[in-house]
Amino acid sequence: MHDQEPSAPLRTVATSHTLPKSREARKKLIVALDFPTAPAALALLDRLEGSCEWFKVGLELYLNAGNGIVETILSRGHSVFLDLKLHDIPNTVGGAIRSVAPLGITMLTVHAFGGPAMLTAASDAAASSPNPLTLLAVTVLTSMDNFQLESIGITETPANQVLRLATVAQACGIPGFVCSPQEAAQLRARFPQNTIVSPGIRPSGAAKGDQARIATPANALAAGADYLVVGRPITQAADPAAAARAILDEMSVGLAEAD
């Protein structure tokens, strides 16, 4: 484990209060490109041009389209959150990070369940990257509840397990976390300088789908999340750009209330 607290390079940018709230909200919204193919993902990107700045590439899309989809998104001037949830032996995870870091992605996920040795190897690999790269430790998936944790032998509540895993990750040099918005407040109180990314975001009145631990955009920001990941409420909307604007409006209200 690392003796010094890791820096959190995204945190200062994410909490800037010098921007209009609508502009600040755009810097905090990450649209999840959860599609099976590059053409489908790029079609949505076209529809959101000018509305969104951040896009998440997850495992399904990355396995199908590879580095090419990342390079295309970056070439259009957007930021990329590569959500691979790396979880393997330390040497393999370190090598994987060194392989993707030169792409120019901004954030990359590793799974905190990989343990201290793996997390330390990940931190060391990111530190050696020629490009700034923020690692995020995935704590407990937002689809998991108490029953799901108990079924795999974990008797902690999701909130306690999130805090335990985040504490281990931070000690290993990982500067950010992925957690549901329901745990964002406790992590913000414990780790005021670290980056917090929250999926499980549902706009007011939306169905929760297969997510177990969710919150509205305004509530997630109020809890301390720096970035919000939104997928289906935007990607499956009849008008994705209008859906994104509605979420950005909710975020702007939340940011204004936080002041």
Mean pLDDT by runs of 10 across the 259 residues of the chain is: 48 51 91 97 95 96 98 98 98 98 97 98 95 95 86 91 97 96 94 95 67 78 94 94 94 82
According to DSSP, the residues that pair with 110 across neighbouring strands are 86, 137
Does residue 91 have a known ligand-binding role?
A: yes
Active site residue: 28, 83, 145, 210, which one? 83
Is the residue at 2 inside a domain?
A: no
Active site residue: 21, 27, 28, 85, which one? 85
According to DSSP, the residues that pair with 176 across neighbouring strands are 136, 195
Does residue 12 have a known ligand-binding role?
A: no
- The C-alpha angle 6, 10, 13, rounded to 5 degrees, equals 135
- Give the pLDDT score at 5: 42
- For residue 111, give the amino acid letter: H
Domain span at 221: 11-258
**Does residue 88 carry a catalytic annotation?**
yes
Count Cβ neighbours within 10 Å for each residue of 84-117 and write b for 16 or more, e otherwise: bbbbeebeebbebbeebbeebbbbbbbbbbbeee
Domains in the chain, number: 1
Question: Which CATH number covers residue 137?
Answer: 3.20.20.70
Is the residue at 4 inside a domain?
A: no
Residue 243 belongs to what H/E stretch? helix 240-258
| Number of Cβ within a 10 Å radius of residue 170 | 25
Q: Name the residue with tokens 């509840």.
A: 145
- Give the pLDDT score at 7: 39
Is the residue at 42 inside a domain?
A: yes
Residue 51 gets which letter from DSSP?
T
- Give the pLDDT score at 4: 40
Active site residue: 3, 88, 226, 239, which one? 88
Is the residue at 5 inside a domain?
A: no
Is the residue at 123 inside a domain?
A: yes
Query: Is there a contact between 221 and 203 (Cβ–Cβ < 8 Å)?
Result: no
Does residue 211 have a known ligand-binding role?
A: yes
| Number of Cβ within a 10 Å radius of residue 153 | 6
Does residue 92 have a known ligand-binding role?
A: yes
Does residue 116 have a known ligand-binding role?
A: no
**Does residue 124 carry a catalytic annotation?**
no
- Give the pLDDT score at 164: 96
- Give the pLDDT score at 257: 76
Does residue 133 have a known ligand-binding role?
A: no
Is the residue at 6 inside a domain?
A: no
Rounded CA separation 241/216 (Å): 18
- Give the pLDDT score at 242: 95
- Give the pLDDT score at 21: 83
Does residue 226 have a known ligand-binding role?
A: no
**Does residue 83 carry a catalytic annotation?**
yes
Token digits of residue 133: 């790269």
Does residue 160 have a known ligand-binding role?
A: no
What's the pTM value of the predicted model, to 2 decimals? 0.89
The closest alpha carbon to 37, from 55, 56, 63, belongs to 63
- Give the pLDDT score at 22: 82
Is the residue at 227 inside a domain?
A: yes
Is the residue at 101 inside a domain?
A: yes
Token digits of residue 129: 């990257």
